[in-house]
Structure 1
Amino acid sequence: MRISRYIPILSLFLFLSCNKDKSGKNGNDSNDTVLLADKYEVSFPKLSPKFTSENKTYVENFYNKYYNPKDFSGGFLVAKNGQIIYENYSGFAYKEKGDKITAEKPIHIASVSKMLTAVCVLKLVDEGEIELDKSVKTYLPTFPHEETSVRMLLNHRSGLRNYAYFTDDKGVWDKHKTLTNQDVLDLLATKPIGLESKPGTRFGYCNTNYALLALIIEKVTGKKYADVMKEMIFEPLGMKNTFVFDNLEKKDEVSQSYKNNYLRLAFEFLDQVYGDKNIYSTPRDLLKFETATYSDEFLSNKMKAEMFKGYSYETKGQRNYGLGIRMMEFETGQTYFFHNGWWHGNTSSLVTLRKENVTIISLSNKYTHKTYQTKKLAPHFGDYPFKFKDAVIGAE
């Protein structure tokens, strides 16, 4: 049975035909502070026991059907109003050592890292350290394209080529050497890399954009990206199991990634570039981050408006990209916000249903497409008109 979005009419319960509680709200209209770290506070209505129980059963059945905990290696979490409805952890962070994945075990979140990098940039915009429409050259003087703005890096309209691809070009890079973010900039400045398209003319998802954004963060703060992320996001939000991996010499100290048969994948020369990837975290920590994006003290309403809107309309379609967030814009007016990731054997998905205050997070370090099944839960919580080939549990 699909649960529609909460419609506040005084403090009354609203029910579907099956008498389900749609809002999850307690009858006493009380609030619960679900995030209180440093100066950031977010309060949502407490979930009713009835709502929590019914939805926990639904989501658990969903998880068992689409994820198969006997095979899935990673973490899965669903929350509403910042309060966890269901979570599950299975598999190994480092199988050869018998190190199991738990709620506290950080694993590589791949391109979901871009969401965190983007928010860090936007917070620095709030602080007056960065201007969205300034040329990248303002902050990185050796960058070769005057017309490319910070905003174009954030929304993937820079026209740049992916560093993972142009380092394959003859004579560009010796793959026996570890690539760094500074190397990415230096190659753009000194090699005939060229552009995929004229800056600002079309969307083109590109990891180079976020590697450069990490450098801009470092330039304006005078600190390492890892330290800035820790000081501005991880520590203030109580994300105790989240960190930036920026040292391949410590590769044996972090969770590993695997093929789908648990064959461990080796680290390689691209694995020290950060900003686009290389954040390790947990579903619980990412829930804290996603919940904080509702706080006006954490991120201003102006920056949230910039982040959660589409920028690429040169071709028709539902898919779009904001500032560090993917989206699907339906004709009904509903917008589905998410970001997926894939790096080596690591796959990730973070869904933020803004109208319903629902968070869906799935992380895996053993290669699988199951991670991306998160989308199938959205119609259960709101009016998201997805069409799936297979039946969704309890859907009408």
Structure 2
Amino acid sequence: MLRILLLPLWLLALAAPVRATVVLPDTPAGRAFDAWLQAFNAADRARLETLQQAFATPEPVDDTLGYREFTGGFTLLAVESSQPHRLVVRAQERDGQMAPVRLVATVAGDPDGRLLGVAPEGLDIGRLDEAAAVAGLAQRARELAEADRFSGAWLVARDGRILGQAAHGLADRRAKTANTLDTRFRFGSAGKMFTAVAVLQLVEAGTLSLDGTVDDYLQGYPNRDVARVTLRQLLTHTGGTGGIDIFGPEFAANRRALRTHADYLEHHGARGVAFAPGTKVDYSNYGYVLLGAILENASGKDYYTLLEEKVFAPAGMTRTGAEPESARVEGRALAYRREGDAWVDAADTLPWRGMAAGGGYTTVGDLLKFAQALADGKLLSPEMFRQATTPQMAENWYGFGFITVGEGPLRRFGHGGDADGMNADFRVFPESGWVLVSLSHFDPPAAYRLTRWFEPRMPLERAPAPTAD
């Protein structure tokens, strides 16, 4: 199975297959992998669909094509091991200086030699010192901006010190308005962190309970199965509401009418759960819309006022908000989506207003302030903060509103966000002290390219303190 978590991740010009001088073995695994690699490198949707239907765990072709666009395809470096029904190769992503990967292909033992999956594994590329890592990131950002593949801002800090930050590109391509470090970029699903913090604040205040249900706080909710879902399950995407797709085919026709959390509930409230709550994980935007409505009902304030008072103001996040797209917001970049070879205005794809599932705007500096406010206990108690940034389900990648993965100095929490014309990535490494922020008003993976370049290269050990003479 080929599955890369970009969360949900969750993309570049086609390139002809190149395999350098590496010759794949004439085995069932070698032949099947060769067919898959050619289809992958050529972004051949039809061929990938045919090949991946046979996977032991079928992989959505859109996910595969997203990974293809993210990597730019693969150039083979070496065959590491070869057996009739299993092949291990080392490959290099074509899209710019990323770590090499190991690809493991397995095929069935039947006469057809069906490809059962292709699994990628990251390989170490060696870590740099602080100065070299930050300088390399700055150079990478400039290269991507010059190639018109990144427009936005980035920031890297360690132990509270900003080590590097810069803005690139034009906030408004027609008016030639440059992006700056104060430019506001849409953050997509990264807004789930703010929603979760507000919910957990009310839990700590005794107003809400993690084990309270939708029906406890939205009495008379139409679908009785959803009414029994708990706040804990909504926060961790285990409530079964992932099948209620608020950005599905109906969204384009209704996006101007969907203006409040109540509007979303009225439109989707009759829909049920996809599985028994608590038994599976399925990422759910609608689950966070429900949390937004619960916050409003429990606090007596609208969602936006509550976040401003309880999250943004205490953290000093003065350039973060979620005014409607129709409002003139000083410094908010236009959103641009890729259409053929051009970047075009993505305004007609955006929600009327960001909401509890995400979609507001922020700056790289404000997200650093958010990280600092969490660490300083300005938003949550230390124990609640610990729970929020600790995996809360068996799949081990999500806490309460925060993606949380890795171990030791690579343990991190944060969130990404991506949609047409917006891409955000926020990563905090508590043990090694790093905070990485990348924001773009281009389609994904514009912002991810920077954090993904930096993370495998950043030093994990701190430089020794200078000694006294």
Same structural fold, with TM-score higher than 0.5 when normalized by the shorter chain: yes
Is 1:250 paired with 2:327? Answer: yes
Residue 251 of structure 1 contacts residue 267 of structure 1 at CA under 8 Å; is this kept in 2?
A: no
Is 1:55 paired with 2:130? Answer: yes
Corresponding residue for 2:265? 185
Matches within 5 A, 1:109-120: 109-120=187-198
The one-letter code of the counterpart of 2:134 is V
Mean CA deviation greater in 261-270 or 93-102: 261-270
State which structure, 1 or 2, has the greater radius of gyration over its C-alpha atoms.
2
Distance 2:379 2:187 in 1: 22
Distance 1:158 1:235 in 2: 31
- Give the direction of change, closer, same or farther, for the CA distance of 1:217–1:89 in structure 2 (3 Å limit): same
Per-residue CA distance 1:2-40 (angstroms, 9 max, x = gap): xxxxxxxxxxxxxxxxxxxxxxxxxxxxxxxxxxxxxxx
Mean CA deviation greater in 130-139 or 94-103: 94-103
2:401 alignment partner, one of 324, 332, 335: 324
Matches within 5 A, 1:1-396: 55-65=130-140, 68=143, 69-70=145-146, 71=148, 72-143=150-221, 144=223, 145-161=226-242, 163-164=244-245, 168=249, 175=254, 177-180=256-259, 181-189=261-269, 191=270, 193-245=271-323, 247-250=324-327, 254-260=332-338, 261-268=342-349, 270-313=351-394, 320-330=397-407, 335-373=411-449, 374-379=451-456, 380-382=458-460
Residue 179 of structure 1 contacts residue 273 of structure 1 at CA under 8 Å; is this kept in 2?
A: no
Corresponding residue for 2:84? none
> How many positions carry a matched residue from both structures?
321
Distance 2:427 2:255 in 1: 37
- Give the direction of change, closer, same or farther, for the CA distance of 1:334–1:258 in structure 2 (3 Å limit): closer
Residue 164 of structure 1 contacts residue 270 of structure 1 at CA under 8 Å; is this kept in 2?
A: no
- Give the direction of change, closer, same or farther, for the CA distance of 1:352–1:176 in structure 2 (3 Å limit): closer
- Give the direction of change, closer, same or farther, for the CA distance of 1:255–1:164 in structure 2 (3 Å limit): farther
The one-letter code of the counterpart of 1:299 is L
Per-residue CA distance 1:293-323 (angstroms, 9 max, x = gap): 112343102211220111221x5xxx51111
Local SS of the residue matching 2:343:
coil
Distance 1:382 1:285 in 2: 24
Residue 271 of structure 1 contacts residue 278 of structure 1 at CA under 8 Å; is this kept in 2?
A: no
Mean CA deviation greater in 272-281 or 346-355: 272-281
The one-letter code of the counterpart of 1:294 is A
Distance 1:182 1:167 in 2: 18
Q: Which runs of 5+ in 2 are unaligned?
A: 1-128, 462-469
Residue 120 of structure 1 contacts residue 233 of structure 1 at CA under 8 Å; is this kept in 2?
A: yes
Residue 358 of structure 1 contacts residue 381 of structure 1 at CA under 8 Å; is this kept in 2?
A: no
TM-score normalised by length of structure 2:
0.63
Instruction: Provide the alpha-carbon RMSD of the alignment.
Output: 2.6
Local SS of the residue matching 1:194:
coil
Residue 255 of structure 2 contacts residue 351 of structure 2 at CA under 8 Å; is this kept in 1?
A: no
Offset at 1:255?
A: 2.3
Distance 2:275 2:133 in 1: 46
Local SS of the residue matching 1:236:
helix
Residue 169 of structure 2 contacts residue 179 of structure 2 at CA under 8 Å; is this kept in 1?
A: yes
Residue 178 of structure 1 contacts residue 270 of structure 1 at CA under 8 Å; is this kept in 2?
A: no
Distance 1:85 1:176 in 2: 40
Residue 170 of structure 2 contacts residue 176 of structure 2 at CA under 8 Å; is this kept in 1?
A: yes
The one-letter code of the counterpart of 2:254 is K
TM-score normalised by length of structure 1:
0.74
Residue 362 of structure 1 contacts residue 371 of structure 1 at CA under 8 Å; is this kept in 2?
A: yes
Q: Which runs of 5+ in 1 are unaligned?
A: 1-53, 384-396
Query: Percent identity, aligned pairs only?
Result: 27
Mean CA deviation greater in 283-292 or 211-220: 211-220
Distance 1:241 1:252 in 2: 10
- Give the direction of change, closer, same or farther, for the CA distance of 1:132–1:367 in structure 2 (3 Å limit): same
Offset at 1:67?
A: 5.8
The one-letter code of the counterpart of 1:338 is G
Distance 2:247 2:376 in 1: 39
